[in-house]
Structure 1
């Protein structure tokens, strides 16, 4: 299962339905209705009902961004109730918190399949795995391959978050302390056919220049979108993760030059003083497909 090329996925507290409308107004490509960290413990059960109602309302309105939900992890005892409430028409997928191993994914897949089969819609719900524990990071490849529902991986790098705390990492904007982990997650995604890993989060809400650098560094590493916690970060994520017009135009010219050479019986060509062959063509096709997908979903 392949996730859409979201440039931004915005967290919204699930118990505050009106905030979802603010998230939509930000232009985010996807909204993550959160039942976990942003919901006070005393309101978690009632928040399920609120999130279900938000999904029904927004799906009925035909809103553009896809809707995801972050449920509470299994260890809280709340997961099954969350799943029963939120798996419904209009939900695209689940953002998974505190996964430990592939068996967790397999068990969750079975529960989702049971609910879908009962409700008559099998195989629609996607999974985005957030690697927040040392155990999950050490088994990231196996987890990525654990279910065809797994559509993307998240490399979590924020300061004082679960991943950093559990590993004893001291966060720096340069990110060298997480470079190995972020690179390994990109490799785990690519080796399992997942072409759109996402990264997050940037917690310094007003530091947009720092956010832009963070996005650029992770784009160069192979990440293709950002999970965000504030609407003001959406525009920066879109700026960085949208292929610029000049790059897209370059690759369109490259494709045209290659196809002209191919029609003349050659599998390679010289294009704007550069040697190109089928490898360059595949790169060009990927960039153009991403640009076209972004434009189609705008």
Structure 2
């Protein structure tokens, strides 16, 4: 999955909200069939999600969060919303790789049923249980896994599971956030997102939170309000100054190579192939957005 900078949650039972989310500045939306949807509206949420997928023609990513495996809804969620316009499923409340395998089997069956190219719908594990975080390497090893979401939200499932007390500084979740980034990189994943910032009106706090996590290695963030999308896009994107820096670095290194040098000086720094490759990766990621 491409490294989306901003992924906006929207309750599936509110059709007009889905349209507003699609019109927002978010790189992708996540149509929620799970926690934000009341029990009587689960079927409506599935129908709305499928309707939105059928009507979708843009390049904005559309993901769906189905209900968990211990509910009566997950089978219908997968079977009724697998579609050619679907980017992937954000998998909730996982405990082991076996859970990913179960979802994978359901998605494969749905792809066959709806004549969607097999393997095209990706799985994005949401790590919100202590078990899933501790087994992150196994969970991300699945062939259909295209990205990962680490949960570090205030007073939510992950804080209850792990037992931490949330602070804006995030010291209490630094280990688990770092662990997920390392595992995702080892698995070769390009999309590593974090969820989420809950203080809707505290935009300065969101900006600090996003900047810190981008520095840690995250490529994007799950959001709950459309006004947060521009902040996330800026924070997880490449600024004009950094783009200029990296482009100049690559040019300086390549000039040095043509002159027979393996390392050169650039703006006072010693740079070699490793630095050039880092710059190329940053520019490539930025080019996807």
Alpha-carbon shift at residue 65 of structure 1 (Å):
1.1
Match of 1:91 in 2: 86
Q: Which moved more, 1:114-123 or 1:74-83?
A: 114-123
C-alpha distance after superposition, 1:90-141 (max 9, x if no partner): 1110011101100111121122112212333211101111111111111011
Alignment pair present for 1:209 and 2:204: yes
Alignment pair present for 1:35 and 2:33: yes
RMSD: 1.1
Q: Secondary structure at the match of 2:93?
A: coil
Alpha-carbon shift at residue 252 of structure 1 (Å):
0.8
Alpha-carbon shift at residue 265 of structure 1 (Å):
1.8
Match of 1:16 in 2: 14
Show the 5 A alignment for 1:162-181: 162-181=157-176
Show the 5 A alignment for 1:94-243: 94-120=89-115, 121-145=117-141, 147-243=142-238
Q: Secondary structure at the match of 1:27?
A: coil
C-alpha distance after superposition, 1:233-277 (max 9, x if no partner): 111101111100111111111111111111122221122222111
Determine the C-alpha separation between the residues in 2 that align with 1:141 and 1:94.
Answer: 19
TM-score between the two structures when normalised by the length of structure 1? 0.94
Determine the C-alpha separation between the residues in 1 that align with 2:149 and 2:248.
Answer: 33
TM-score between the two structures when normalised by the length of structure 2? 0.97
Determine the C-alpha separation between the residues in 2 that align with 1:219 and 1:270.
Answer: 27
Alignment pair present for 1:53 and 2:51: yes
Show the 5 A alignment for 1:245-256: 245-256=240-251
Q: Secondary structure at the match of 2:76?
A: helix
| Unmatched 5+ stretches in structure 2 | none
Determine the C-alpha separation between the residues in 2 that align with 1:29 and 1:224.
Answer: 12
Q: Which moved more, 1:39-48 or 1:94-103?
A: 39-48
C-alpha distance after superposition, 1:6-62 (max 9, x if no partner): 1100001101111112112221100111100110011112321221112112x2xx1
Alpha-carbon shift at residue 164 of structure 1 (Å):
0.3
| Unmatched 5+ stretches in structure 1 | none
Determine the C-alpha separation between the residues in 2 that align with 1:177 and 1:216.
Answer: 17
Q: Secondary structure at the match of 1:151?
A: coil
- Alignment length, in residue pairs? 288
Match of 1:278 in 2: 273
Determine the C-alpha separation between the residues in 2 that align with 1:290 and 1:15.
Answer: 33
Match of 1:290 in 2: 285
Q: Which moved more, 1:170-179 or 1:113-122?
A: 113-122
Q: Secondary structure at the match of 1:266?
A: coil
Determine the C-alpha separation between the residues in 2 that align with 1:50 and 1:236.
Answer: 28
Alignment pair present for 1:269 and 2:264: yes
Determine the C-alpha separation between the residues in 1 that align with 2:186 and 2:231.
Answer: 29
